[in-house]
Amino acid sequence: MSSLIKKTYFLALAFSVATLNIFCQNNPEDLQDMHIKIAEGFIELHPDTVAYKTEAKSYKWNYEQGLMLDAFYQLYKLTGDEKYFNYLKKNIDYYVEEDGSIKTYKMKDFNIDNISPGRVLLHLYAETKNEKYKKAADTLMKQLENHPRTNEGGFWHKKIYPYQMWLDGLYMAQPFYTRYAAMFNEPEIFDDAAKQFLLIEKYLKDEKTGLYYHGYDESKEQKWADPETGRSPNYWGRAIGWFIMALVDVLDYFPEDHPEREEIINILKNLSSSLLDYRDEETKLWYQIVDAGSREGNYIEASSSSMYTYAFAKGVNKGYLDKKYLNIARESFDSIIKHLVTYNDEGNIFLNNVASVGGLGGKPYRDGSFEYYISEPKRTNDFKGYGPFLLSAIEIYRAKSFK
């Protein structure tokens, strides 16, 4: 990382008190191209790679890249600007060799997270017809073909988390899985993909709140799992965010006449309605633990708020949701800028209050409690927040909702 980029980054961290929110207050017309401002600011801070790299860890194939690069692909399709396509291609080409092998990827891990960047491989293959991207995508498909499953056919989240389905996993695998099915005419995949959503609906939805618990342990052996239901104890905002993004994204590929397509749309509609019941009245955003409100330690969280905003806007654009959700999305997007965005002296955008991580089990053991989720550090410009923030800006611009 160059000294200039380091300086820019640390200026932003020090500048934690919001500066003038010029885009949403003084110059509302500038909101029309916020998707460009968000993307350009990101590229300035990450000119060479979207991969996280610390002194202790090297670059590796990672789901956060998949999220971020899919956002840049959507921006490319919206604007036609080759710069964004070249940016995502450069990032993927760092990992994908000419023979289709993927640096740092290990199929034997059977980690569902590692499927996420595969959708970008398919984007690249669709645009270039370069066989190396198809070969790499085939490798990820081979993982799914052999991936461990629950007794009812649900993908395990990871080999190290046996018999567990997490909400996160639906976003990690299903958009790739269904895009592959659509591109290469494998209709049986849609049946399997639909099953994944229906299993989540069966085991993780709470009928009273309409919200979804983070994880399900079929074996009911984990300490975090309810001994009767196998569910984890809390509604983690970003887990629900991964799930709702998966819903709107797989519908891009599901055939219009598939028997479960309408059920997936109904799941999206019902979840969207339930989320409105837990939206903070003051900020119009959502908390880290969705139903816990202003309980001490809980906080308005950027990634989940951005994910819901994206899903609402896209859901309207695609005709799945009532048009009222577009106004809700715009209101929440404006509020993200007002409450969670700061700027440095160069005008770069910094998205604050992104939960760094959230999981179940593992080492050290994560028990799924309220105290656990709020104990994880918050980050600025974490890709898990910045990617959905960019996606939400793209969808709101697409709707031409700025007047």
Tokens of 399: 């709707």
Other residues' Cβ atoms within 10 Å of the Cβ of residue 193: 26
Question: Among this protein's residues, is 168 annotated catalytic?
Answer: yes
- The answer to whether the Cα torsion of 95, 101, 105, 110 is positive or negative is positive
Other residues' Cβ atoms within 10 Å of the Cβ of residue 216: 28
d(C-alpha 287, C-alpha 280), whole Å:
8
Residue 61: closest CA among 99, 9, 87, 97:
97
DSSP strand E in 238-353: where? 341-343, 349-351
* Catalytic residue from among 70, 99, 138, 168: 168
Tokens of 293: 């409100």
Tokens of 209: 């709140």
Q: Which DSSP string do the residues of 134-156 spell out, in sequence order?
A: HHHHHHHHHHHHH--B-TTSPBP
- The Cα-based distances of 201 to 10, 30, 232, 240, 359 in angstroms read 43, 40, 14, 12, 20
d(C-alpha 384, C-alpha 248), whole Å:
17
d(C-alpha 14, C-alpha 253), whole Å:
43
Active site members:
168
